[in-house]
Amino acid sequence: MLSYKTGTVMSVINVIGLIVISLTCCFSSQSSQQTEYYANLITQRVLNAQKYQPPDYYKGFDVSEKYTAPKDFGVFDFIVVGAGAGGSLLARRLSEAHDWKVLLIEGGGTSDDFVDIPAAFNHLLTSEYSWGFKTTPQKVCEDSIGSICTYPRGKGLGGTTLIHTVVHARGIPSDYDYWEKLGLDGWSFDDVFPYFKRYENASILKDIDPDYHGFNGPFAVENYRNSSEFEEAFIAALGTFGITKTDYNGQKVYGYGRSQLATHNGKRNDAFKCFISDVINKENLQIQDNSLVTKVLIRNATAYGIEFIHDNNRYIAKATKEVILSAGSVGSPQILMLSGVGPANELLKHNITLVKDLPVGREFQDRPGISMYITTDRFEEADLKAVIAQYLQGHGPMSVSQRTVVAFYKNSRNSPVEIMLLDGEGFTVYNNSVNFGKTGLKSFGIRTALLKPKSVGNLTLASNDPLQFPVINTNLLGEPDDEESIIEALNFMADVAESEPMKKFNATIKDDTACKVFPFRSKRYWKCYLRTSMSDHALHPIRSCKMGTNPNDSVVNNRLQVHGISNLRVVDASVMPTSVTGHQFGTVFMIAEKASDMIAEDHGNIINSSR
Ligand SMILES: Cc1cc2nc3c(=O)[nH]c(=O)nc-3n(C[C@H](O)[C@H](O)[C@H](O)COP(=O)(O)OP(=O)(O)OC[C@H]3O[C@@H](n4cnc5c(N)ncnc54)[C@H](O)[C@@H]3O)c2cc1C
């Protein structure tokens, strides 16, 4: 017989047991509901992406009342145009000065759970989160209709950080020291380094040079938590070519490192989420989305506001201190030209009254990026729900954009090159059913990009209609030297794919392009390969509103102010005068951090971050 006490203890244990069982059931039914939710979301969105037709113009802003008088949207101290990498960070910092009223205005809307999945990036390029721009005919798209490439740029609160591949790699000291050598005082590495540290929180990154990172910023970076035998073999293969381990955001960029990712618990950490979401309710910060800015209002060579379209109406918002364009390398030059700031002959062509003759869009530079796929003898069984379950725990292949290892090296021409492992195949579609990877023999990819190409293109207006997309000519591989460099990189990728460490899984380069009529690895083969769908833009455009000292060949000065126009700055990738030995958004974050200090200085104010 049980004593009263023992009985009570047993009943307590039973009750606890029941609670644990019901909690477990509750959690497991919750997580199976979540898995189901993600499976449906992914299926629907991947299938939608397949049917995507890029628009020919800024769709959604079809102003029926295009010519009616604009409505008054109010007065602000600062108006920041574009909530992408640069604009989101800058608006956060400006709003830290509590007596400043800041408007952050963005063409797109809010993102959702699908956008948060890093592995979904490919499907976001053909979605409502991308504007749908196209290039003029380019060599690298010779197998597309009219040789025209699609040219994705992010649309929405977060900008291109909503669709990018989340790798944080910010360049080397000599990149920025060179900017100073161009006459840009204040942009040497010593000058900009504190700003790189200020935005970053690298507390959980592994294998880093701690002196080169920030640990208190709002932008959290993490490593991908899983690894694979392809990753091990890729790293071993790099080793056989003398590429050794490094922190590529540390003292020595050349070498390989496991990716440092703009993710938080495996989810995309876009610029709006990490810089604005925690300050969104501040009274002095107003966010206005789904609004296309069509013009900066300029009187007596001074900017005093913007015009924009929202919900089929035109509006005017005024700025007492500054208008800041952070609309990216495509958006910012277009808005400037529509406002009368641009090359005189270009504006004349489109009947736009000239306000200031500047070489806006005269330069536009992107990088070539080329992939190669490799088949193996390893078998995999695709299981969407299993990878979703991992994602819900903050890891697994859905939480990375396949780019699990990144390496930087210099080629024989002393040109910096990147090589990355693309681990896995991402979401796949078979018979209208969406899976992750495919059931069958596994493959992986290797991707390269030329970090400092010589070819430069340009960006011009199609017309004076703000709803028309601009004309983007990237002139990718326009310079023979770039083609030679990338062919050398392709040979190196093939060497890596055929190296000893890859033999254990019978790695074989997939050769299903039309180029197989040429001898594999011959120059003619690679020249053909460069014109297939394996080859494209890295989508890191710069220089369209280049920073410089001379208004004849630059658009903004070293304080990012548009030459000859007061109260107007550009703060985004378009001001970069040359590319860096890394990726891009880190540099844009740095530019925005530095801009916030320069603006505070110029207006005699203090923002919290500049303590
Ligand atoms: C597929 C892809 C992969 C990439 N991968 C990486 C990577 O792994 N690592 C990396 O560092 N970089 C990567 N990048 C590049 C990086 O994301 C961008 O360089 C960076 O986001 C640029 O920042 P930005 O502020 O200049 O412009 P954006 O982030 O593009 O922001 C511009 C904002 O302005 C808005 N806008 C434009 N015109 C108007 C208008 N008229 N009115 C209102 N709003 C407007 C846009 O909607 C957008 O939100 C990638 C880019 C792409 C496309």
In this predicted structure, the answer to whether residue 2 has a pLDDT above a threshold of 70 is no
pLDDT value at residue 31:
84
Distance CA 424, CA 397 (A): 8
Average pLDDT over residues 485-494: 96
Give residue ranges with CB within 6 A of ligand 1: 81-87, 105-108, 121, 125, 152-155, 159-161, 163-167, 292-293, 326-329, 331, 335, 539-540, 572-573, 583-586, 588
Distance CA 272, CA 218 (A): 11
Answer yes or no: 583 catalytic: yes
Distance CA 472, CA 574 (A): 13
Bridge partners, 324 (sequence order)? 80, 569
pLDDT band at 393 (very low <50, low <70, confident <90, very high): very high
In this predicted structure, the answer to whether residue 263 has a pLDDT above a threshold of 60 is yes
Answer yes or no: 540 catalytic: yes
Percent of the chain clearing pLDDT 70 (strictly above): 94
Find how far residue 275's CA is from the centre of its chain.
Answer: 15
Distance CA 408, CA 66 (A): 49
Kindly report the protein residue whose alpha carbon is nearest to atom 21 of ligand 1: 160
Kindly report the protein residue whose alpha carbon is nearest to atom 48 of ligand 1: 159
Rg of the chain over all Cα atoms, to the nearest angstrom: 25
Place of tokens 């290797």: 446
Average pLDDT over residues 348-359: 98
Alpha-helical (H) ranges within 136-277 are 173-181, 189-199, 229-240, 271-275
Percent of the chain clearing pLDDT 90 (strictly above): 88
**Residue 215, both tokens:** 């640990």
**Are 149 and 138 in contact, with CB atoms under 8 Å apart?**
yes
In this predicted structure, the answer to whether residue 362 has a pLDDT above a threshold of 70 is yes
Place of tokens 């939608």: 48
Average pLDDT over residues 202-219: 96
In this predicted structure, the answer to whether residue 511 has a pLDDT above a threshold of 60 is yes
Average pLDDT over residues 148-161: 97
Homologous superfamily (CATH) for 74-610:
FAD/NAD(P)-binding domain (3.50.50.60)
Q: Which is the catalytic residue, given 123, 168, 540, 563?
A: 540
pLDDT value at residue 12:
52
Range scoring the smallest mean pLDDT among 21-30, 232-241, 393-402 = 21-30
Distance CA 37, CA 18 (A): 28
Q: In terms of Cα–Cα distance, which of 412, 434, 484 is closest to 454? A: 484
pLDDT band at 326 (very low <50, low <70, confident <90, very high): very high
> What are the sequence ranges of the domains in the chain?
74-610
Give the DSSP letter of residue 60. T
pTM of the model: 0.95
In this predicted structure, the answer to whether residue 21 has a pLDDT above a threshold of 90 is no
Average pLDDT over residues 502-512: 92
Q: Which is the catalytic residue, given 264, 395, 537, 583?
A: 583
Is 160 annotated to bind a ligand? Reply is: yes
pLDDT value at residue 3:
36
pLDDT value at residue 27:
56
Query: Among 330, 365, 585, 587, which is best to mutate for testing ligand 1, by the most ligand atoms less than 8 A from CB?
Result: 585
Is 448 annotated to bind a ligand? Reply is: no
Q: In terms of Cα–Cα distance, which of 393, 423, 514, 432 is closest to 165? A: 423
Q: In terms of Cα–Cα distance, which of 460, 391, 505 is closest to 38? A: 391
In this predicted structure, the answer to whether residue 287 has a pLDDT above a threshold of 70 is yes
The mean of the pLDDT values for the chain is 93
Kindly report the protein residue whose alpha carbon is nearest to atom 35 of ligand 1: 82
List Cβ neighbours of 556 (8 Å cut-off, separation of 6 or more). Answer: 545, 546, 547, 548, 562, 563, 569, 570, 575
Dihedral of alpha carbons 51, 57, 58, 63, sign: negative
**How does DSSP assign 196-217, residue by residue?**
HHHHEE-TT--S--GGG--BSS
**Are 356 and 301 in contact, with CB atoms under 8 Å apart?**
yes
pLDDT band at 609 (very low <50, low <70, confident <90, very high): low
Average pLDDT over residues 503-532: 92
Helix (H) / strand (E) containing 13: helix 4-51
Alpha-helical (H) ranges within 257-403 are 271-275, 328-338, 344-349, 384-392
In this predicted structure, the answer to whether residue 533 has a pLDDT above a threshold of 60 is yes
Distance CA 411, CA 555 (A): 32
Kindly report the protein residue whose alpha carbon is nearest to atom 41 of ligand 1: 293
pLDDT value at residue 534:
84
pLDDT band at 18 (very low <50, low <70, confident <90, very high): low
Distance CA 314, CA 292 (A): 9
End-to-end CA, the chain: 72
Find how far residue 499's CA is from the centre of its chain.
Answer: 32
pLDDT band at 30 (very low <50, low <70, confident <90, very high): confident
Distance CA 303, CA 325 (A): 11
- The rounded Å distance from CA 228 to ligand 1 centre is 30
Sheet strands (E) in 199-351: 200-201, 219-220, 222-223, 255-258, 260-261, 263-264, 267-268, 285-288, 291-299, 302-310, 313-325, 341-342
Average pLDDT over residues 556-569: 98
pLDDT value at residue 8:
46
Average pLDDT over residues 117-130: 97
**Residue 608, both tokens:** 């919290």
Distance CA 586, CA 153 (A): 17
- Residue 30: other Cβ atoms inside 10 A: 10
pLDDT value at residue 611:
45
